[in-house]
Amino acid sequence: MALAKDYASVMGRKGEIMKKSLGMDYSTFESGSIAFDYEKMMASTGYTLEEIKRVQGETGVGNTPLFVLRNLTELARKNAKPGYGATICVKDEMTNPSGSFKARRAACAVAFAKAHGYKGVIAATSGNYGAAVASQAAMQGLKCIIVQEAYDSREVGQPEIIEKARACEAMGAEVVQITVGPELFYESLSLLEDTGFFNASLYSPFGIAGVETLGSEIAIQCRERFGKDPDMVVCTNAGGGMVTGTARGLIKAGATDTQVVAASIDLTGLHMASDKQFNRKSCTTGHTGFGVPFANWPDRSDVPRSAARPLRYMDRYVTVTQGEVMCMTELLANLEGLERGPAGNTSLTAAFSLAQELKDDQILIVTETEYTGAGKHVQPQLDFARENGIDVRFGNPSEEVPGTSVVMPYWPDQFKAKDLDLTRMRRSLLKTALKTYTLEPTEEDYEFLAVETKSEVDWVKEEVAKLQETLR
């Protein structure tokens, strides 16, 4: 008998589909309440950090170079007060086979799929992860389907997203392109059910464990180059995998005092599931449209429990503007001779500002670069913005209105990273946890939520008590 394929029926079978397509039963990690065994879930991959390094090394992933950005460092110091301006370094993840750090995530997932007899892999992504999964699948001789949220209802797609589809197809993947909305996860679940392929989810333990090598390499390379651990590491933040995996890798390498900062492009006011607003954003990755909601509540993804849990690890969360990122992309090319794509330059933009807060004997490392191509280049993105009625100009970036304007700075001192309120985000996570599971947490739940929000149990209990009064 054929299974019903309407939206409600497919989503209702999500748990069963996930169990088959990931080779793991998420119920074994559950406690029956808010808490679940996160570390047990992470260990379920069967990969140690050394094993991940071996797996990634077999397909040329990892061991990417660490560059000192001498000219951008000097420019930051000219804008900082005397004695300030940390040395800015960048991990050149573009040198991975698919051109981004996502190759680390894909290598673990695809290797597991190959070892466990899956005939193919599926990933739901509009970003660099699609190309990474396609690349690794080609190397492992597996079939690959990428489900991509690509168009608005006019069938108009952003040049950066279309570029990524071409990259996936060039490596032999089938790309299923759909319009913006809830159909992305529905379509991927339906295909997983029909094909029996492995779910190479961005949010599985495989994907996050793969990024741990990045954090480990950063610590080791920084010690080799400077004789100490980095003082600050800045990660572009969307779904939270970069922050989570990098921080875990730093910790495993012993760099426990390194400050981990998340950075996103400020797209406040734009709804990511809005058809009309889909093409009003001029940067498609590393923005608050994903970064904030996924930090506030990680378990909104295509797996029952997300392995990307950024609030556990971030010490600060800052935002920059689209115009600042576009300008920094040009500065990186003109001053350092590195033409790289916009996702990594989001964290670099924040780092340029943050470096001026640190002393000149301190080390700040940007976790990634990414490849750039025809549609990912700055100019087609700005041209597309103009075509959609966005005012593109030079001026003060603080005047930028997401969806209305892209304002590029005139001068270096106009780059200003702005802090988001982490306490407010922690309260939001607590509120969602109570509404989703129970208004009466157990002691185990309180301890879990303290780790989840990188806070103390007493603070969690105080905040939960306040929330209980409003939610009852």
Residues 117-127 have pLDDT tens digits of: 999 999 998 88
Q: What is the mean pLDDT of residues 60-65?
A: 98
- Per the CB < 8 A criterion, the answer to whether 170 and 141 are in contact is no
Reported as a pLDDT band with limits 50, 70 and 90, residue 21 is very high
CA angle (213 as vertex; 68, 295 as ends), nearest 5: 90
On the question of pLDDT at 441 being above 80, the answer is yes
Beta bridge partners of 176: 147
For 169-200, write each residue's pLDDT tens digit: 999 999 999 998 778 888 999 999 999 999 99
CATH topology of domain 58-96+209-419: Rossmann fold (3.40.50)
58-96+209-419 and 7-27+100-205 share a CATH fold: yes
Helical ranges in 156-281 per DSSP H: 159-170, 183-195, 205-226, 241-252
Query: In the chain, what percentage of residues exceed pLDDT 70?
Result: 100
Q: What is the pLDDT of residue 109?
A: 95
Instruction: Name the helix (H) or strand (E) containing 180.
Output: none
For 247-268, write each residue's pLDDT tens digit: 999 999 999 999 999 999 999 9
What's the mean pLDDT when you consider all of the chain? 94
> Which has the higher per-residue pLDDT, 347 or 19?
347
CATH topology of domain 7-27+100-205: Rossmann fold (3.40.50)
Q: What is the pLDDT of residue 251?
A: 98
For 300-316, write each residue's pLDDT tens digit: 888 889 999 999 999 99
- Distance separating alpha carbons of residues 290 and 265, to the nearest angstrom: 10
- Distance separating alpha carbons of residues 361 and 211, to the nearest angstrom: 28
Q: So where are the chain's domains? A: 7-27+100-205, 58-96+209-419, 422-471
Reported as a pLDDT band with limits 50, 70 and 90, residue 129 is very high
- Distance separating alpha carbons of residues 99 and 216, to the nearest angstrom: 20
For 375-415, write each residue's pLDDT tens digit: 888 899 999 999 999 999 999 999 999 999 999 999 999 99
Q: What is the pLDDT of residue 423?
A: 98
Q: Who's near 62: CB < 8 A, 6+ residues apart? A: 53, 56, 96, 104, 213, 214, 217
Reported as a pLDDT band with limits 50, 70 and 90, residue 1 is low
- Per the CB < 8 A criterion, the answer to whether 138 and 172 are in contact is yes
Reported as a pLDDT band with limits 50, 70 and 90, residue 24 is confident
Instruction: Name the helix (H) or strand (E) containing 355.
Output: none
Q: What is the pLDDT of residue 118?
A: 97
Identify which of 134, 84, 91, 87 has the alpha carbon closest to the alpha carbon of residue 109: 134
- Count CB atoms within 10 A of the CB of residue 22: 23
Q: What is the pLDDT of residue 258?
A: 98
Look at the chain and count its residues.
472
Beta bridge partners of 394: 408
Reported as a pLDDT band with limits 50, 70 and 90, residue 87 is very high
On the question of pLDDT at 110 being above 90, the answer is yes
Instruction: Name the helix (H) or strand (E) containing 150.
Output: strand 143-151
Identify which of 219, 224, 145, 222 has the alpha carbon closest to the alpha carbon of residue 189: 145
The residue with tokens 């032999």 is 172
For 321-377, write each residue's pLDDT tens digit: 999 999 999 999 999 999 998 888 999 999 999 999 999 999 999 999 999 987 888
Q: What is the pLDDT of residue 320?
A: 98
